[in-house]
Amino acid sequence: MKMQQLKGLTAVLTGAGSGFGLEVARIAARHGMNLAIVDVQQDALDKAHAELTQMGVQVLAKKVDVSHADEMAAFADAVKARFGAPNFVFNNAGVGAGGLVWENSVADWEWVLGVNVWGVVHGVRLFTPMMLEAAAKDPNFQGRIVNTASMAGLLTPPNMGIYNVSKHAVVSLSETLYQDLKLVTDQVSASVLCPYFVPTGINQSHRNQPAALAHQKPTQSQLIGQAMSDKAVGSGKVSAADVAQMVFDALAEDRFYIFSHPKALGTVQTRMEDILQIKNPTDPFVHKPEIGEGLRKALRAGP
């Protein structure tokens, strides 16, 4: 599927108040698309709504916690009533979390999986039937669902297991969605976005933690993980706006896998070769041993 003419089409975006979601919305607005945007942060949502409206396009904006099925269902109903079936759905909302995998609390798991996995699940289960119905009625209808995963969905870096698990789930869901859609239609398809270290604000997602987590004292490994994430993301040379443009380029080329840093695929290849050769996992710091040694020392030093 190749999307040539975007004006007048409709795009749904979760996590659209900042970062990558907002940059995608800006590009869509420049193309004259109708926008249905959600974010959990009201002030960011209001600011995005005002900016996008000033660009001369129709905008439906709602504060939604994507992990909540009822809120997402109400949003989907509002989109259908206002614009009809969307042509694009960007399931983008996500949160980050680190630390040794056994140190994550039940609340940690529920929050990260709720946003990163259930948020995408809700977007897929609510909007896919709507798009398929539109395709059945109109042979010219074309649609695309783009799920934001991460390179962490193809790798297993240490001290960020809860995040890895959530993003592996999104990659698997997206690949299956792509194959399932191929069984039933040629008009609707799917893509998965796997960014590497890109300044999008996800490393500061703790600002939107639920109350149960806001008063939870972070473990040493979580503090170390946050510091490493801040440094890696802060030094990223590819911006959220760059990645947003990469996504639209990929959609024009009908590409499923979208990578912000294709050079990182060498590490993915190493992981796949370990699996195929039935080898123990390769040290993720083999090319930067000083980082691995520093992490080990910090974690073994004790609090």
Q: Please give the model's pTM, rounded to 2 decimal places.
A: 0.90
Among the listed residues 24, 46, 175, 39, the one whose alpha carbon sits nearest the alpha carbon of residue 94:
39
Domain residue ranges of the chain, discontinuous segments joined by +? 10-300
- The predicted pLDDT at position 226 comes to 78
Structural contact between residues 132 and 23, judged by C-beta atoms closer than 8 angstroms: no
Among the listed residues 301, 293, 299, the one whose alpha carbon sits nearest the alpha carbon of residue 102:
299
Q: Which two tokens stand for residue 38?
A: 């959600």
Query: In the 8-state DSSP scheme, what is residue 201?
Result: S
The total of other beta-carbon atoms located within 10 Å of residue 266's CB is 9
- Kind and range of the H or E element at 228? helix 220-234
Helices 289-300 and 220-234 sit at what angle, rounded to 10 degrees? Answer: 150
Q: For the segment 8-25, what is each residue's pLDDT rounded down to a tens digit?
A: 999 999 999 999 999 999
Q: For the segment 144-197, what is each residue's pLDDT rounded down to a tens digit?
A: 999 999 999 999 999 999 999 999 999 999 999 999 999 999 999 999 999 987
Least confident range from 54-58, 90-94, 198-202: namely 198-202
Q: For the segment 241-275, what is each residue's pLDDT rounded down to a tens digit?
A: 999 999 999 999 999 999 999 988 999 999 999 99
Question: Taking 60 as the threshold, does the pLDDT of residue 86 lie above it?
Answer: yes
- The predicted pLDDT at position 207 comes to 56
Q: Tell me the helix, strand and coil percentages in the chain, rounded to 5.
A: 55, 15, 30
Q: Which two tokens stand for residue 19?
A: 């970062």
- The predicted pLDDT at position 176 comes to 98
Structural contact between residues 123 and 145, judged by C-beta atoms closer than 8 angstroms: yes
Q: Which residue has the tokens 């060498």?
A: 266
Structural contact between residues 103 and 24, judged by C-beta atoms closer than 8 angstroms: no
- The predicted pLDDT at position 218 comes to 81
Architecture, CATH, for domain 10-300: 3-Layer(aba) Sandwich (3.40)
Q: Three-state SS string across 51-119, please?
A: HHHHCCCCEEEEECCCCCHHHHHHHHHHHHHHHCCCCEEEECCCCCCCECHHHCCHHHHHHHHHHHHHH
